[in-house]
Amino acid sequence: MSDFTSLLARLSCIVFPLVLFRFLRGRHRSSNALPRPPGPKGIPILGNLLQLPPSRLWEKAVEWGKEHGDIIYLENVGKPMLILNSYDDAKELLANRSAIYSSRPHLTMAVDLEKWDWFTTFVPYGDLFRKHRAYQNRFINSLETLNVANVQLSETHAMLKGFLDNPGDYASYVNRLPGAVIMMNLYGHRVERDRDDPFVKLGITAVRYAGDSEGYFFLEFLPWLKYIPEWFPFVEFHRVAKEARQISHALRYELYEIIKKKIAKGSAKESMTSLYLAENTREDGSVEDEADFCASIAMLLIGAVDTSVTATMTFVLGMLKNPEAQKRAQSEIDRVTGGDRLPTFEDAENLPFVNAICEEALRYAGITPFTPAHLSTEDDVYKGYHIPAGTMVLANTWAVAFDADRYVDPFAFRPDRWLSEKEMQKAQGVRARDYAFGYGRRICPGQPWAEQLIFIAIASILAAFNIEAAVDENGKPIPPNEDYHPSFVRSLGPSKCKITPRSQKMVSLIEGAAEAI
Ligand code: HEM
């Protein structure tokens, strides 16, 4: 955001009478009600708007929590916002009371200007949301429909081959994996091994644009600013919105149209799209409910394309931070596979420590530090506080994941925490998978797909490779990269490390598996 726009935003709200009117009306109403939950004191009219940091609000909320408690109430230009720093509150409001906490706020930048209105994450609770869910659940929650496991396994083997051929570039193979699987599931589209796929790239770009739209939060509180004409000097958001609109349209329709033609020629592989078209193409060639179907599957691409990458990159980081855990997991795998085959999904139940590593990667990664905002649709009372209808509610997953009252040494990568009865008692049985995927009716529909992929990716890497810190010119280990990019979906770049096959046997197993793809 340019300084000018920011200044304009702040000044104009002081003179804008409608805002003043809303503020006065809000104050009058609240005087008769129960108190709002505690939170940092704001200033007249703007409320807490100027206290919101440009990024890492989740960390600021932890700081506020020390003074105000786990439930933090803010008001930004009269718009109520609630941050929930504890798991119990998030579960109570967003899951147990999900009948009234399952909508989404209307976002000026993302929805009005960038036209991500078809993103499931931005769709308010109602018929359209239910329709998206029905399409998504049919294929992604019942993984057998498209034989997802086979695709996940063979693309994991392609990743191992990449590690073998080009270990220094391991991050690019980790990045490729979920995109390759989901493209095959959704569209029957094969992502080439050694080339950037334009559609996966489109998906990643879309996540970036949609995530970055948060940076224009002033538009959410001063939505009339969107009417500033495009030619107005120094107004950057219109340019960004224009780019995003093109990406939004391309993502929703372009690949779908290509696949539709392939299907008509009989040259496409079975996928969510081919099954849908087979069932829903009318005699005149038109397709039932096409626009919403396109939207709900393109959203699955968005959901899948980078979230599991952060978990797998965090796993590599974890192995560099905790080499003992790596050795222990490898011995566990060798006991189950005999060291002469690659792991399969059926091995999962016999690999508790590997599962604990997956869980720790999910916790440590803090992939979505805030659950995307839920919106309350009715007035509510909680713990003696009044929560007005229309409150934007953010569950602070980052605060829960690194809560020292729940987890011993939360900033250490310690998979054994999930296997210790004593530590699980302290954690009150709350596992990373209980909060990493959100809550209630909006819970992530891709959870089973993601957990399965993360397991097979991590188990396979552990079975086949040793991951060690690289050393500098003085022979000292180079510290791993822990610098997560702080966005709506956190991401982590590669560390300088050595990735070497554990045995000649593993080399030939990987070569053989890769040839079979
Ligand atoms: C480790 C991987 C993943 C994590 C941590 C994750 C996390 C989340 C979270 C926190 C939400 C918001 C839930 C809420 O508002 O309460 C969400 C929503 C969503 N996720 Fe995921 N996700 C992951 C993988 C996936 C995958 C693989 C897919 C698709 C195959 C997917 C598709 C979606 C969709 C469509 C939504 C929107 C749901 C809605 O607004 O109702 N996600 N995810």
Residue nearest to atom 41 of ligand 1 (CA): 442
Q: Is the CB of 307 under 6 A from ligand 1?
A: yes
Query: Residue 2 pLDDT > 80, yes or no?
Result: no
Look-up: residue for tokens 């009478």?
A: 17
Q: What mean pLDDT value characterizes the chain?
A: 91
Looking at residue 29, what is its pLDDT?
Answer: 47
Looking at residue 25, what is its pLDDT?
Answer: 46
Stronger pLDDT, 7 or 99, i.e. the higher one:
99
Query: Residue 236 pLDDT > 60, yes or no?
Result: yes
- Please tell me the distance from the alpha carbon of residue 179 to that of residue 152, in angstroms, as a whole number: 11
Looking at residue 7, what is its pLDDT?
Answer: 40
- Please tell me the distance from the alpha carbon of residue 243 to that of residue 248, in angstroms, as a whole number: 9
Tell me if 170 sits within 8 A of 162, measured CB to CB. yes
Q: What is the DSSP letter of 499?
A: E
Rounded distance from Cα 302 to ligand 1 centre (Å): 9
Rounded distance from Cα 307 to ligand 1 centre (Å): 8
Both tokens assigned to 242? 């224009």
Burial of 131 (0-12, 13-18, 19+ CB in 10 A): middle
Rounded distance from Cα 39 to ligand 1 centre (Å): 29
Query: Residue 23 pLDDT > 70, yes or no?
Result: no
Both tokens assigned to 277? 């078209």
Band the pLDDT of 92: cuts 50, 70, 90.
very high
Rounded distance from Cα 443 to ligand 1 centre (Å): 7
Residue nearest to atom 14 of ligand 1 (CA): 438
Q: Is the CB of 393 under 6 A from ligand 1?
A: no
Looking at residue 183, what is its pLDDT?
Answer: 93
Rounded distance from Cα 319 to ligand 1 centre (Å): 26
Question: 444 among the known binding-site residues?
Answer: yes
Residue nearest to atom 30 of ligand 1 (CA): 446
Could you tell me which of 397, 488, 3 has the C-alpha nearest to residue 212? 488
- Please tell me the distance from the alpha carbon of residue 33 to that of residue 387, in angstroms, as a whole number: 10
- Rounded to 5°, the CA angle 49-53-56 comes to 135
Three-state secondary structure along 72-140? EEEEECCEEEEEECCHHHHHHHHHHCCCCCCECCCCHHHHHHCCCCCCHHHCCCCHHHHHHHHHHHHHH
Burial of 472 (0-12, 13-18, 19+ CB in 10 A): exposed
Q: Is the CB of 436 under 6 A from ligand 1?
A: yes
Q: Map out the domains of the chain with their CATH numbers.
A: 33-515 (1.10.630.10)
- Please tell me the distance from the alpha carbon of residue 223 to that of residue 220, in angstroms, as a whole number: 5
Region of poorest pLDDT, from 192-196, 238-242, 320-324, 346-350: 192-196
Secondary structure of residue 467 in the 3-state scheme: strand
Residue nearest to atom 33 of ligand 1 (CA): 303
Q: Is the CB of 438 under 6 A from ligand 1?
A: yes
- Please tell me the distance from the alpha carbon of residue 517 to that of residue 157, in angstroms, as a whole number: 8
CA-442 nearest atom, ligand 1: 41
- Please tell me the distance from the alpha carbon of residue 138 to that of residue 143, in angstroms, as a whole number: 9
Rounded distance from Cα 305 to ligand 1 centre (Å): 11
**Mode of pairing for the β-strands spanning 79-84 and 392-395:** parallel
Contact residues for 405 (Cβ-Cβ < 8 A; gap 6+): none
- Rounded to 5°, the CA angle 18-21-25 comes to 140
For residue 179, how many other CB atoms are within 10 A of its CB? 24
- Please tell me the distance from the alpha carbon of residue 155 to that of residue 24, in angstroms, as a whole number: 58
Query: Residue 516 pLDDT > 90, yes or no?
Result: no
Q: Is the CB of 301 under 6 A from ligand 1?
A: no
Q: Is the CB of 181 under 6 A from ligand 1?
A: no
Q: Is the CB of 501 under 6 A from ligand 1?
A: no
Both tokens assigned to 259? 């696949």
Helices 237-265 and 272-280: crossing angle, nearest 10°?
Answer: 70
Rounded distance from Cα 495 to ligand 1 centre (Å): 26
Residue nearest to atom 9 of ligand 1 (CA): 437
Amino acid identity for residue 444 in this structure: C
Q: Is the CB of 314 under 6 A from ligand 1?
A: no
Looking at residue 384, what is its pLDDT?
Answer: 96
393-404 as b/e: b if 16+ CB within 10 A: bbbbbbbbbbbe
Secondary structure of residue 227 in the 3-state scheme: helix
Secondary structure of residue 466 in the 3-state scheme: strand
- Please tell me the distance from the alpha carbon of residue 199 to that of residue 181, in angstroms, as a whole number: 13
- Please tell me the distance from the alpha carbon of residue 94 to that of residue 376, in angstroms, as a whole number: 9
Both tokens assigned to 132? 């998206």
Q: What is the DSSP letter of 141?
A: I
Amino acid identity for residue 289 in this structure: D
Q: Is the CB of 156 under 6 A from ligand 1?
A: no
CA-178 nearest atom, ligand 1: 27
Per residue in 429-479, pLDDT (tens digit) is 999 999 999 999 999 999 999 999 999 999 999 999 999 999 999 999 999
Query: Residue 5 pLDDT > 60, yes or no?
Result: no
Distances (CA, A) of 225 to 9, 146, 232, 240: 7, 46, 11, 15
Q: Is the CB of 105 under 6 A from ligand 1?
A: no
* Total residue count of the chain as it appears in this document: 517
- Please tell me the distance from the alpha carbon of residue 287 to that of residue 260, in angstroms, as a whole number: 10
In the chain, pLDDT over 70 holds for what percent of residues?
A: 93
Rounded distance from Cα 113 to ligand 1 centre (Å): 23
In the chain, pLDDT over 90 holds for what percent of residues?
A: 78
- Kind plus residue range of the DSSP H or E element containing 326: helix 323-337
Looking at residue 4, what is its pLDDT?
Answer: 42
Looking at residue 94, what is its pLDDT?
Answer: 98
Per residue in 131-185, pLDDT (tens digit) is 999 999 887 776 677 789 999 999 999 999 999 999 999 999 999 999 999 999 9
Q: Is the CB of 355 under 6 A from ligand 1?
A: no
> Which among 141, 444, 492 is the best mutation to test ligand 1's pocket, defined by most ligand atoms within 8 Å of the CB?
444
pTM tops 0.90: yes
Band the pLDDT of 289: cuts 50, 70, 90.
very high
Helices 127-136 and 290-305: crossing angle, nearest 10°?
Answer: 60
Rounded distance from Cα 418 to ligand 1 centre (Å): 23
Q: Is the CB of 461 under 6 A from ligand 1?
A: no
Query: Residue 486 pLDDT > 90, yes or no?
Result: no
Rounded distance from Cα 303 to ligand 1 centre (Å): 6
- Rounded to 5°, the CA angle 212-452-364 comes to 50
Residue nearest to atom 11 of ligand 1 (CA): 444
Q: Is the CB of 370 under 6 A from ligand 1?
A: no
Both tokens assigned to 21? 């009117």
Looking at residue 208, what is its pLDDT?
Answer: 86
Query: Residue 13 pLDDT > 80, yes or no?
Result: no
Query: Residue 480 pLDDT > 90, yes or no?
Result: yes
Could you tell me which of 344, 359, 347, 350 has the C-alpha nearest to residue 314? 359
Query: Residue 9 pLDDT > 80, yes or no?
Result: no
